[in-house]
Structures are given as C-alpha cells and as structure tokens.
Structure 1
Amino acid sequence: MKKISIICSSILLTTTLAISSLPAQANLPLQLNGQQMPSLAPMLENVTPAVVLISVKGTHVEKQNIPDAFKFFFGNPRQNQARERPFRGLGSGVIIDADKGYIVTNNHVIREADEIQVTLKDGRQLDAKKIGADESSDIALIQVETKNLVEINVSDSDKLRVGDFAVAIGSPFGLGQTVTSGIVSALGRSGLNNENYEDFIQTDAAINSGNSGGALVNLRGELIGINTAIIGPNGGNVGIGFAIPSNMVKNLVSQILEFGEVRRGVLGVSGYSVNGEIAKAMELDANQGGFVERVEPDSAAEEAGIEAGDVITQVNGKHVKSFSELRGKIGSIGAGKDVELTVVKANGKSKTYTVTLKKTQSANIEPASIHSMLEGAKLNNQSKGLGVIVGDVEEGSPAEVIGLRKGDIIAGVNKARIKNIAELRDYLSEIKGISLLKIIRGNTIFYIRIR
C-alpha cells in the first residue's frame, strides 16, 4: 500500500453553525435552549451504505539485486533474483452503480491482488473482480454480483469552492466504517508525484490507513471525490489530505468501461507554471496558468494553433493555476475528445481554441511490434522529447533478458538520438542485424545490444 494514504476530515460542526446553512434533511429534533441542533446523521444514514470495506490478498514479487559478476555463483539467476512474499491489505471503495455492482477505489488498494473481497455496511461479504485500473491517476474499478446495493449520487466537482464543507467516509485500520468532517481547503493541488496525473481536492482531515478509496461527499451526500493521499510523517495526520475530483473519476471510469483501460488524450505541449518571475520576464498579464515552452510537431495543440509562449489559463471554462493542474485535467480526458482552452497570447490578448486531443504515441504501439526483444517492457515517452522511459518489465520477458530495467531511459539507437517511441520504432525498422540501444540508468550511460 502506498505511503501516501487517504483523506478523512476532522473539523466538527458545532452549534455555532447556522442551521440555515445545512440542508433540511440534516436537522434532527434534538434541541438546545429550545433550538434544533444541526446533525449530519440523516444524510449519512442514506450515504454510508454506498461505502464499502475492501480487503485484498496477493503475492508480491521482490527482486534481489545481484551484481552481474556474482550471478554465476547463484545458479539460475531468474530463480535467485525474485522472491515471492504473500501480502494482505485493506482499503475502501464507493458503489457508483448499484444495478451493475460497480465500485470505484484506488489502484494502489487492489494492485497485485489475487483476491478482492468487499464487505458491505450490512455485513455481507462478496468476492469482487477487477474491471480495469489506471496507475497514473490511481483509480480502479471493481465489480460485485449481488442485489440490494446502494449507490452514491455523483456531484459536479467543478462547482466546488474553497470553504465548502466536506465529509469523508472510509474504514481506517479495518475498524469499520468511520465518518469525519472538514472543509475543502484548496483545489487543483498537484506535485505529489510528478509522473502521475494530479488535480486534487485538498481537505483538512483525520487521516488513517485503510481510508484509501473511500468517499468525500458534500452536505447533500453527493460524491465530490475519492480519497487517495495524505501528507504526514509516517502516515500520520497533519490536516492535509487529498481526493481525486469526481469529474476526473467519471471521465476515467467511462474510459475503463468502454475500452477496459484509460486511453488518455494528449495535448502535445511542454512547459511550466507561471509565476511572478516568468510573468515579469515575458511581460505577461497572467500570473497563473501553464506557460507553453514547446509545442510538439503534428500534435493536437499545433493543429489547433497554440504556439510556444502562450499561457493556457482555462480548460473548458475552468481556471488552471499551474502547468501540473493543466496536465492533470487534460490527462483525465480521453483521446479523440474535444477540449476548450483559453489562452493568453504573447500580445496580451485572450483567445479560445477548441482542441481535439490525440492518442499517446505509446497507446497504439506495442513494444513487441517495435522489436521482438522489447516485448514485456512498458514504454512511455519522456516529457520534452528526451527519449523513451521504461516502465514495468515483465519477469522472464525478452526485455528483461536483454537487461532492461524499470526506470531506464532509451536515449538513442546506435549513433542516433531518439526523442520518442515513434522515432525508436522508425530507427529500428530501418536497421538490419545488430542494433545498440543507448541506455541512461541513473548517472550511468551504457549500451544494450539487440538483433
């Protein structure tokens, strides 16, 4: 389970809260000095059956890093470099479709799980199957088969404001369902993992292990986010927690249901967040947004007319504060979908573009189709055209046999530098016989021979 865990808020609603600020259903006939006291109990009675406990079992393969010079002494290197360890884990989930039994949770809750069991609030225990997942956004969809489920209504998270009340529901430490309350502390947060697509809701929270995948709801009991991460020493609570916005969840789940995976759309720009120094240097009127440093050739952005030096300030009419937030919003929208971008041009004028997002270059190119010795490796393009990064490598695959490891960067073929997967494929298709892949691993550069 990830070290960054989950969100549960811990600000108590007191009798000083104006009763008019709560929905009518949140009032109980309890009285103090002749006045009704506010309570979340009626709302929670309707919502909590839609939040479940998830327990998983599986086997984690641990690799042993044996230097090449010593592998001869350990017999079969493949047998001695991997060790299987059983594991168990706990998390939470949210029922989003009662008829079909669909439950949303975090990918890190069910990752590598061989068995997934769901416990409902009424005590029923059900086996679940994985429908699909997206590691880069930490969203997964599982399914159970039963009747009389309760689903949660999903809210429009784009309408959230800082200061809105939020209620977190989950199962910390496997103790059973727990409810805490707080407020929306910030919107559009990112930067926890620069490799991922992030656009988090931040909330003050009583954070505990086991809440991952649980629900963050508003006072109407509508889902506004899936709890996913915290900041705190040793997983402890310091009042900073994060949830994946419900609109992002809806986009990702719809792709998983349609394709069995997330087919992420790509804008085709690189850049950085606008700050005071950049605004001054470029004489920009905008002090927030995503500064476009480079537009990729033949990309969706280039075809729409976006140029280097532009500042993207809005996505579908919603302001973006940083390039990371821009990346997170775009990353949850599927390939082939239209997105409306508001841009501040170099002359200071604002212009709106309609952009049709393209597929990632790695989405429709299988490593084995590039070269047979790359089979078993997950390949992705580095940002800014800096080569191809190797993701997970399947044990015993041709890619592992030639020496590729997770995190390696394929920077060139023979003497040619490559920028992306498409160039890697093109160079290898033209070369007959032996090729040398230039690999960057940490601070080391070396070559791997393939034929």
Structure 2
Amino acid sequence: MKKMSVLISSVLLSSSLALSSLPAHANLPVSVNGQQLPSLAPMLEKVTPAVVLISVRGTHEIKQRNVPDAFRFFFGNPRQTPSRERPFQGLGSGVIIDADKGYVVTNNHVINEADEIQITLKDGRQIEAKKIGADENSDIALLQVEADNLKEVNIADSDKLRVGDFAVAIGSPFGLGQTVTSGIVSALGRSGLNADNFEDFIQTDAAINSGNSGGALINLKGDLIGINTAIIGPNGGNVGIGFAIPSNMVKNLVDQIIEYGEVRRGVLGVAGRSVTGEFAQAMELEEAQGAFVEQVTEGSAADEAGIEAGDVITKVNGKKIRSFSELRGKIGSIGAGNEVKLSVIKTNGDEKTYKVTLKKAESASIEPVSIHKMLEGAVLGNNNTNEGVLVTSVEDDTPAAMIGLRGGDIIVGVNRQRIKNIAELRDYLKNNQGISLLNIIRGNSNLYIRIR
C-alpha cells in the first residue's frame, strides 16, 4: 500500500511539472483527486481544422527497358527508349496558411505530376485544389482552394526553436484520417538526406509515417514550426526520426511564389565544406561548427561583398550555423535581391560582418494552368528585364499551342494593363471573368492573342 501511495504521488508530481510547461490559455477540466491533468485537446481543437488530407491522381511516364534494338521500330522512334504511361494515385497532408485566399502548403513530392488534386477538410468537405507553384529542391508546393469557413494556422518563428522544445505532428498517415502525435525537437539544422536539395531540417521524435508528408509540426501554442517532409525508417515506418522543413524557410519560399509566381532563389556564390573537429583544430578555431569557404565565384554576391576563400562563415543574420549544408539551406530560401548579414572569421582570426545582396538562381516551377486554362502546355518564366512573362516553350496539341502562343513570345500586357511578372499576370486573369487579350511581343512584332 505504501508503494502504491508513492506511485500515485509520483504521477501527480509529474502531471504538475507537465502542467507548468503548457500555455496559459489551455483549459484543463480533467482532474484526479483535485489535481488537474494536462491535455493538448483545447489547443488541438483550434488547430486541427487547418490541417487537410490531400488526394492526388495522375500518370507516370514509364520507360520500358531491355527492348532489343531490332524491335524498337514498333514502339515509335527507333532512336528513343519506348515508354508508356501508368496511372497513379497517392495521399498526403497539407496545411492552410491563409484562410481568406485559400492557400495550402504541402510537399512538392506529394502533388508532383498530379493531374487532379483534392483536399478533404476535417469537417468532411472535399474540394478541388489547383497548384500555384512549387520548389522541387526544397520540396515545398503551394495550392489554392475556394471555400468558405476555412481555418488557418499561425506561423511561428522557427529560428527561436531549441532542442528539447515540445512538438506535435498532425497529418493523415496511411490514409487513416487525421492523426496527432507528440514528441520533442530532437535536433536542428539537419541535412544530408539529398545532396542536391536545400535542407535545414528540424528533427523530431514525434511519430511521422507515410502520408504525414506535408502535414503540420506545431508547438504547444498551436503555432506552425515546420512542415513534415521525411522520415528515416524501414518500409516507410516510424522509428522516432522524422524531419520537418522549418516554418521560416517555408514562409520565405511561399511568399516568393505568391509575389512572383516562382521562387527567386538567392545565390551567395561560394563552395566549401563543414567545419569538423580536426578542421577547427588545424584552423585554430574556438568552435567546430560553421562553413569553410574553399572557393568564391568571380562576380558573385560573395565576391562583390568581399568574402574570400579561407573565410569561415559562422552566422546568417545573427543566427549560428552548424555546417555548410545549413548555410546552403538558409541562403537557398532567401529571395534574390535580399540583403543578408554574414558573420565571418577571417584567415588571420579576425571576426567581420558582411552585408551581402543575394543574386538570382534558377527559377522553380510554375503551373501555367493555375494562371489560366488556355495557358496549359506553355512553360512560363519572368523576363530578365522584369518586364513581361517569357514563354520559354509550348507543347504541341495543347491549349497554349491552339491559341497561337510560341516559344520566345513575351506577354507584356492583358487588355490595356501592363504586366511585369507571372504574379501580375495570374492576378489580372483571375479577376477578369470575360474575354482577355494577351499583348504579345514576338521578335519585332506586336500582336494580341484572345483567350477566354
């Protein structure tokens, strides 16, 4: 009986400690012997309507292998590898970040190549969504839906996260429906899952499984701290190691897609490696973290600012970085033309701060059909002069080809309205329900193309 009393006291003490860590606005109606027990339910009741299930359908182009050269003639062009299309469907999650405009954030890999995108709200409503834009290298995509009474999630400052902070993951694993799991922030600044991507992951032990991709990682206040994107585990199962894209990185990328219709990724123009323990000892550095600059590209943003080979970059905008991958991930989410402050240790040991204005990298993908149905089949990009939208190419037998668009055309206006970029083109066409006349510059000619 004495052991039982000690156990009960221990449980109540643990509950009291857990209670002190919860936000003040969390109502705790449950009690045992007068002792209140903590619950995340009040907070989750406000947040979970902003997390949606995403269902996609589409077709993959599958290349057929091991076809003898003598038989390739029967599959079309004998010089090309034969291929066929295979239908697919998939499930994922998404987060509503703007209820008024219907903006939903998810992972690019959830909706990539999808012909149909449908979201299911917590109240059971199913709504068709359109893709506004995506960034493959950071695995972020922005969708838009039209519906009333949507709920949005507040976005937290992920730079303020600390290892040990509580974290809650919300998504739809294995298509079971909305599921909530909890844990802590296990690590920050993780990278290395894909060398070609821009990675600066939050690592968490909150259970994340297949289908959670694109879902929310929130703090105990119910604010978004990350978008769940990847796991390490056999057969897509959870082993307590999950990764989320930090909310600050998500916001930077989404803001660019909304404003420009694309991600105008900033480029620093350096190559290098992470500072290790042996490296720090050899360079006589106090800490074994940071990004060592091995090479600076001539004419790059770093070169113009004065950064040199041999420098060690230790902070971005006052925040410490642990590795070169973390530097790459942070810079890669900041838009071109923006200024960043870089703290640097010079080869002589002096510390110096540089103000660097980032230059533009390659654009991310924009879906022309999300701008107007008659632009499907065209590849669009912002013109380098910031005057108009460049039609890079047009596929045969598509709506864009049928209305007369050609590769090399520059859309400079709609009706009598001048157009500077993709975002302005999308906004104008969205608000114009009737006939529109696209003002096109084709070589030395000025012409109009009618769309409806």
The alignment's TM-score, normalised by the length of structure 2, stands at 0.76
Residue 29 of structure 1 aligns to a residue in which SS? coil
1:22-421 matches, within 5 Å, as: 22-65=22-65, 69-70=69-70, 72-77=72-77, 81-360=82-361, 362-363=362-363
Whether contact under 8 Å (1:205, 1:237) holds in the other structure is no
In the alignment, which residue of structure 2 is the partner of 1:380? none
| Cα shift at 1:284 | 2.8
Q: Secondary structure at the match of 1:234?
A: helix
Structure 1 position 91, deviation (Å): 0.4
Distance 1:306 1:80, change over 3 A: closer
Residue 132 of structure 2 aligns with an amino acid whose one-letter code is: I
Q: Secondary structure at the match of 1:28?
A: coil
After superposition, the Cα gap between the structure-2 partners of 1:336 and 1:71, relative to the gap in structure 1 and judged at 3 Å, is farther
Aligned twin of 2:387: none
- Does the 8 Å contact 1:166/1:181 carry over to 2? yes
Aligned to 1:413: none
Change (3 A) 1:117 1:72: closer
Shift of 1:68: 8.3
Q: Does structure 2 retain, via aligned residues, the 8 Å contact 1:162–1:184? A: yes
**One-letter code of the match for 1:59?**
T
TM-superposed deviation, 1:76: 1.4
Distance 1:74 1:304, change over 3 A: same
Question: Residue 263 of structure 2 contacts residue 363 of structure 2 at CA under 8 Å; is this kept in 1?
Answer: no
Provide the C-alpha distance between the structure 2 equivalents of 1:340 and 1:264, rounded to a whole number of angstroms: 17
SS in 2 for 1:104: strand
Cα distance in 1 between the residues matched to 2:165 and 2:93: 23
Amino acid at match of 2:48: T
Give 3-state SS (helix, strand or coil) of 2:331's partner.
Answer: helix
Deviation by residue 1:40-73 (Cα, 9 ceiling, x = unmatched): 0000000000000000000111112457844645
Letter in 2 for 1:120: L
Equivalent in the alignment of 1:409:
none
Q: Percent identity, aligned pairs only? A: 76
Question: Offset at 1:347?
Answer: 1.1
Q: Deviations over 1:80-110 (max 9, x none)?
A: 6111000010000000000000000000000
Task: Sort the Cα spacing of 1:50 and 1:223 in 2 relative to 1 into closer, same or farther, 3 A.
Answer: same
Asked whether the 8 Å contact 1:315–1:341 carries over to 2, the reply is yes
1:279 deviates by 1.7
When residues 178 and 294 of structure 1 are mapped into structure 2, their CA distance, relative to the original with a 3 A threshold, is same
Deviation at 1:321, TM superposition (A): 0.3
Compared CA separation, residues 253 and 363, structure 1 to 2 (3 A): closer
Distance 1:250 1:328, change over 3 A: same
Higher alpha-carbon Rg: 2
Q: In the aligned structure 2, how far is the partner of 1:72 from the partner of 1:182?
A: 54
- The one-letter code of the counterpart of 2:35 is Q
1:240-280 CA-partner distances (Å, limit 9, x unpaired): 00000000000000111112111111000000000112122
**Which residue of structure 2 lines up, in the alignment, with residue 423 of structure 1?**
none
- 2:15 is paired with a residue whose SS is coil
Structural RMSD (CA):
2.4
Distance 1:234 1:70 in 2: 39
- Given that 1:74 and 1:80 are in contact with CA atoms closer than 8 Å, whether structure 2 keeps it comes out as no
Question: Are 1:93 and 1:103, in contact at CA under 8 Å, matched by a contact in 2?
Answer: yes
2:305, 2:356 within 8 Å by CA — same for their partners in 1? yes
d(CA) in 2 for partners of 1:75 and 1:40?
59
CA–CA separation in structure 2 for the residues paired with 1:264 and 1:68? 44
**SS at 2:129's partner residue?**
strand
Letter of the 2:258 counterpart: L
Q: Distance in 1 between matches of 2:72 and 2:28?
A: 73
The corresponding residue for 1:414 is: none
Q: Is the 8 A contact 2:167 2:206 kept in 1?
A: no
User: Which deviations, in whole Å up to 9, do the C-alpha atoms of 1:165-221 show, x marking residues without a partner?
Assistant: 011100111111100110000000000000000000000022221110000000000
User: Residues 201 and 225 of structure 1 are in contact (CA less than 8 Å); yes or no, is this contact kept in structure 2?
Assistant: yes
Structure 1 residues 293-312: Cα deviation after superposition (integer angstroms, max 9, x where no partner): 00000000011010100000
TM-score, normalised to structure 1, is 0.76
Q: Which of the pair has the greater relative contact order for Cα pairs under 8 Å at 6+ separation?
A: 1
Structure 1, gaps ≥5 residues long: 1-13, 365-375, 378-392, 397-451
State the 1:75 CA deviation: 4.4
**Alignment deviations for residues 294-351 of structure 1 (CA, whole Å, 9 cap, x no partner):** 0000000011010100000000011000000000000000111101100011111111
Query: Quick check: 1:27–1:36 contact (8 Å CA) kept in 2?
Result: no
Give the direction of change, closer, same or farther, for the CA distance of 1:345–1:209 in structure 2 (3 Å limit).
same
Post-superposition offset of 1:395: 10
Residues 107-154 of structure 1 show CA distances to partners (whole Å, capped at 9, x for unaligned) of: 000000000001000011100000000000000000000110000000
Alpha-carbon separation, structure 2, partners of 1:225 and 1:17 = 26
